[in-house]
Amino acid sequence: MDTPSLLQHFRTHDTPLVLSRGGDLAWDDAELHRSAGDIEGYALLALVPGALPWQRARVLLRTLAESRDGLDDRARATLAKVTRALLFGLPPEHVITVLLALRRLRANHKHVTRAALAFVLEHPDAGELIEARRPALVDCFEHALGKATARACARLVRAGDTGSGYLRRALLRFTSDPATAIERVRALYAPGTHGAIAPQEPPAPLDPVREHTPIVTPTNRGDIAATLVHLYRGGPAAELRPALAGYVAEATRGLPRLPANVAMVLDTSGSMRGYGEREWAVMSQAVALQLVLDRVCDRLTVIETGDADARGPDPVAGAAARGLDLAAGAGAGPGGGGGGGEPRPVGATDLASGLLDALESRPDLVVVVTDGYENLLPGDLARVAAALPRAGITTPVLLCQATFTRGDDLTLRDPAPALPGRPFWHQDDFAALLPWMFAHCAPGPDWIKAAMLARLEGGGVT
């Protein structure tokens, strides 16, 4: 399974699944989804933050359409949890399309029955959905149980049956709330309401709904970066450093360790400092990523690319390569002239030399973190990166561009267009950025599986 390509596809390809009036299913990337091996890992990829709803719907379709014969109990349990998360985490119309497609495909597995009944009978908005989409939901219900069985259950419910042996065997054993299920069945076969509007939003969104203020400042782009900005400005380190350590711990809570050697080429050139209202914004977000990676990776080697000579003997210089001491309470940080440990941006940008230095540690993955301004030998990073395969170096190299806002124009700030790249501007971006990064190295797919399982078990996904 090509995890990086799948994640990229999940994040960018939003063409809907289409069922024609004749019931034919059209999805333009069916072969890509069907060719993905490791059904458990494939299903968990749908939970990675940033995956688009129609891609998640495709994952739901494939995982339900396929037989689970031969899977062990653990894998079956994982698929059941992912299925339930998708049923209630996707827009209802997407799920209805998937269930109708399964009917067209004549998928009659037991897990299809459980999924369809869970959606029709247990969805928090089932009452409104039934009013608006009664024929479609009746089709889903009858496909799940079989038409004859479903209609027999409906007749029993209309006659007042609430728990006969037949009703329990045929229907109620599939639900944890028999009383609600009976009400839903009664509504399914009742007269409809013309013009009812179906709910559009999922009851349990897979990605947290985050609201960002319309005016971006250096200190409202996440707690880690905000604390670093205050340190750069010369704030009280004795108070700020313990807070910084707490924010980093909170951001990485529940994330597994990546058993890999990751090299980070950190742009510490003068442009990373910024100026005016943007001063320290980009540098602080880049260092925030460094601190998170340091907590998650077994080994993180950081290579700074600014002008070390221009820094002079300042003890801050090169501190990133040694690892930042979050517990240090002395010193005001680089902005105030202390020796807190944050890298101080100064000098020109030589990303290519940083990449070559990073490769000396024989890493599993190299991540170049920069604002994109390569003002020393522009294009050098692109040429060096292109030459690596010819030199027999197959280490994945990624480009992560730190920006001030989500809408920054990066047209003239892409030093290596051929490298896989992704921008980030807010701490919230790390949830999607880490899986994308780690997918490119050998231990990454297992890390993603463990991280998404932790989301399922820890309540991050319903």
CA gap 157, 253 in Å, rounded: 48
User: Where do we find the tokens 């996707």?
Assistant: 90
pLDDT grade for 154, boundaries at 50, 70 and 90: very high
Q: What is the pLDDT of residue 43?
A: 97
Q: What is the pLDDT of residue 332?
A: 38
Interval 231-278: pLDDT, tens: 999 999 999 999 999 999 999 999 999 999 999 999 999 999 999 989
Q: What is the pLDDT of residue 375?
A: 72
Whether residue 229 has pLDDT greater than 50: yes
Stretch 326-342: mean pLDDT, rounded? 47
Q: What is the pLDDT of residue 318?
A: 41
Task: Output the CA–CA distances (angstroms, integers) from residue 156 to 148, 181, 192, in the order listed.
Answer: 12, 13, 20
Interval 283-293: pLDDT, tens: 999 999 999 99
**Cβ atoms < 10 Å from Cβ of 367:** 25
pTM: 0.90
Q: What is the pLDDT of residue 319?
A: 40
If phi over 0 gives left and psi between -120 and 50 gives alpha, with beta otherwise, what is residue 71? beta
Q: What is the pLDDT of residue 461?
A: 61
User: Where do we find the tokens 């990337």?
Assistant: 29
Whether residue 169 has pLDDT greater than 60: yes
Cβ 430 vs Cβ 251: under 8 Å: yes
Cβ 151 vs Cβ 93: under 8 Å: no
Residue 51's SS3 state is coil
Task: Output the CA–CA distances (angstroms, integers) from residue 261 to 234, 296, 311, 341, 429, in the order listed.
Answer: 33, 11, 28, 22, 22
CA gap 245, 193 in Å, rounded: 56
**What is the DSSP code (8-state) at residue 29?**
T
Q: What is the pLDDT of residue 310?
A: 55
CA gap 421, 382 in Å, rounded: 12
pLDDT grade for 322, boundaries at 50, 70 and 90: very low
For CA atoms 449, 10, 101, 194, give the dihedral sign: positive
Interval 33-42: pLDDT, tens: 999 989 999 9
Cβ 458 vs Cβ 84: under 8 Å: no
Name 37's Cβ contacts closer than 8 Å, sequence gap at least 6. 1
End-to-end CA distance of the chain: 26
Whether residue 227 has pLDDT greater than 70: yes
Q: Which two tokens stand for residue 376?
A: 């020393």
**What is the DSSP code (8-state) at residue 422?**
E
Burial class (CB in 10 A: 0-12, 13-18, 19+), 411: exposed
Q: What is the pLDDT of residue 286?
A: 97
Q: What is the pLDDT of residue 316?
A: 34
What integer best gives the mean pLDDT of the chain?
90
Interval 336-383: pLDDT, tens: 333 457 898 998 889 999 999 999 999 999 999 999 998 777 679 999
Q: What is the pLDDT of residue 395?
A: 97
Which helix or strand (DSSP H or E) is residue 153 part of? helix 147-158
Whether residue 454 has pLDDT greater than 70: yes
